[in-house]
Amino acid sequence: MKILVVGGAGYIGSHMVKHLLRAGHSVVVADNFSTGYRNAVPDCCACVELDIANSEALDTLFATHSFEVVFHFASFTQVGESIEQPGKYYSNNLSATLTLLQTMLRFDVKRFIFSSTAAVYGNPQTTPIDEDHPKQPINPYGRSKLMVEQVLEDLDQAHDLKSVSLRYFNAAGADPEGTLGERHDPETHLIPLILQAASGRRSEITIFGNDYDTPDGTCIRDYIHVSDLVDAHARALDFIIEQKCSATFNLGNGTGFSVRQVIDTARRITGKNIQIREAARRAGDPARLVADAHRARDQLGWQPRNSSLEQIIEDAWHWEQQYPWS
Ligand code: UDP
């Protein structure tokens, strides 16, 4: 198929591009490189520097290629930043996404695979969280994603645009072949920061909050390997083609690990004595976020295969040890 991957130079997008190319699809990456890396996209793949807020540039791109489906990974994803700069989040994650969707409609492209997030749920009222759980996001990041999901429902009703929204829990790990991985700047995510402490790139890992209502007092999260996320997207593509309907799926492992458990596992795998510092809670962190991903298992036939915490950390450690990345 002829596929546009927006944000294909970023962490999850670049893993997706690798998979799609290997599956024989014709892929075009569009990325503004604000957080992505050109060298995360293989040379054999068409790659356009483009901001999806730019309607004219999108028109040119869509006039050049007859896309059959669009994957959209190009979002800002930092909760804390979204609280400090909500306009940045609504502008890119909502408004620019709407510009992309309107371009799709103008060119009669009606299949859309969207990176959503567990942040749409806010503080969980029940756990594990299924897709019908109330959606009450507690920060602009989560709200911007929920708003796009709502826009997508309306566009399906009005224009028959079919979409699959995939609500990621904690994306983690790296390409098992070692060619791609996480490289956010600044890095804010737990596992890469722990591994930076293990490799000596930072002196310690800070634990944000030790007084949560969890067995060891630290937050519990559901870590899902990036390769399992990619597999779910590939299945979402089959789903949208075969079922011709829109849907929303949680993507998580169904098992939660505390911050301390993650650090202990990283110590075991790396053999390094990772220093910790205990600090106050980080604003906006719910105590426990664990997915009920039965819908994805039932309807997509999806089953996480690489998402043991050990596998996630092993692959991320392999990637970290290649630093500096070329
Ligand atoms: N966390 C931490 N220290 C860090 C970064 C994260 O203790 O340096 C905690 C954070 O408070 C949360 C969990 O690790 O409970 C996962 O955070 P991350 O930023 O990786 O993902 P999020 O759950 O915010 O999407």
Which residue in the block uniquely carries the two structure tokens 């503080």?
A: 123
As a whole number, the mean pLDDT across the chain is 97
- Does 34 map to a domain? yes
Residue 110 token pair: 């009606």
Q: Are 134 and 275 contained in the same domain?
A: no
What is residue 66's DSSP assignment?
A: -
- Does 180 map to a domain? no
- Is the bond leading into 286 cis (omega within 30 degrees of zero)? no
Query: With bands split at pLDDT 50, 70 and 90, how would you rate the model's confidence at 29?
Result: very high
Q: Identify the CATH number of the domain in which residue 266 sits.
A: 3.90.25.10
Query: With bands split at pLDDT 50, 70 and 90, how would you rate the model's confidence at 66?
Result: very high
Q: Let me know: does 229 contact 253? Beta carbons within 8 Å.
A: no
Please identify every residue annotated as catalytic. 141
Q: Are 232 and 278 contained in the same domain?
A: no
User: If you take atom 20 of ligand 1, which residue's CA is the nearest one?
Assistant: 189
Q: Are 228 and 218 contained in the same domain?
A: no
How far, in Å, is the centroid of ligand 1 from the Cα of 157? 37
Does any ligand 1 atom lie closer than 6 A to the CB of residue 206? yes
C-alpha 280: how far from chain center: 26
Q: Are 85 and 161 contained in the same domain?
A: yes
Q: Residue 311: its pLDDT value, please?
A: 98
- Closest ligand 1 atom to the C-alpha of 279? 7
Q: Are 194 and 87 contained in the same domain?
A: no
Q: Let me know: does 38 contact 18? Beta carbons within 8 Å.
A: no
Which residue in the block uniquely carries the two structure tokens 């990325």?
A: 31
The answer, yes or no, to whether residue 142 has pLDDT greater than 90, is yes
Calculate the alpha carbon distances from 44 to 4, 24, 40, 56, 141 in Å: 15, 12, 12, 26, 34
- Does 129 map to a domain? yes
Number of independent structural domains in the chain: 2
- pLDDT tens readout for residues 259-306: 999 999 999 999 999 999 999 999 888 999 999 999 999 999 999 999
Q: Are 210 and 115 contained in the same domain?
A: no
Helix-then-strand count for the chain, H and E: 11, 14
* Last-in-domain residue among 232, 251, 270: 251
The answer, yes or no, to whether residue 317 has pLDDT greater than 80, is yes
Query: With bands split at pLDDT 50, 70 and 90, how would you rate the model's confidence at 326?
Result: confident
Q: Are 163 and 200 contained in the same domain?
A: no
* Last-in-domain residue among 233, 251, 269: 251
Q: Are 92 and 138 contained in the same domain?
A: yes
Q: Identify the CATH number of the domain in which residue 80 sits.
A: 3.40.50.720
pTM of the model: 0.97
| Among the listed residues 2, 3, 5, the one whose alpha carbon sits nearest the alpha carbon of residue 15 | 5
Domain that includes residue 31, residue range: 2-172+224-251
Q: Are 213 and 118 contained in the same domain?
A: no
Q: Are 135 and 232 contained in the same domain?
A: yes
Does any ligand 1 atom lie closer than 6 A to the CB of residue 221? yes
Mean pLDDT across 57-75: 98
Q: Are 9 and 64 contained in the same domain?
A: yes
- Closest ligand 1 atom to the C-alpha of 172? 20
- Does 164 map to a domain? yes
- Does 184 map to a domain? no
Q: Are 194 and 318 contained in the same domain?
A: yes
Q: Residue 274: its pLDDT value, please?
A: 98
* Alpha carbons 30 and 51: distance in angstroms, whole number: 8
* Alpha carbons 120 and 13: distance in angstroms, whole number: 20
- Closest ligand 1 atom to the C-alpha of 117? 25
Q: Let me know: does 246 contact 163? Beta carbons within 8 Å.
A: yes
Does any ligand 1 atom lie closer than 6 A to the CB of residue 27? no
- Does 82 map to a domain? yes
Mean pLDDT across 104-112: 98
DSSP 3-state assignment of 118?
Answer: helix
- Does 313 map to a domain? yes
Does any ligand 1 atom lie closer than 6 A to the CB of residue 202? no
- Does 272 map to a domain? yes
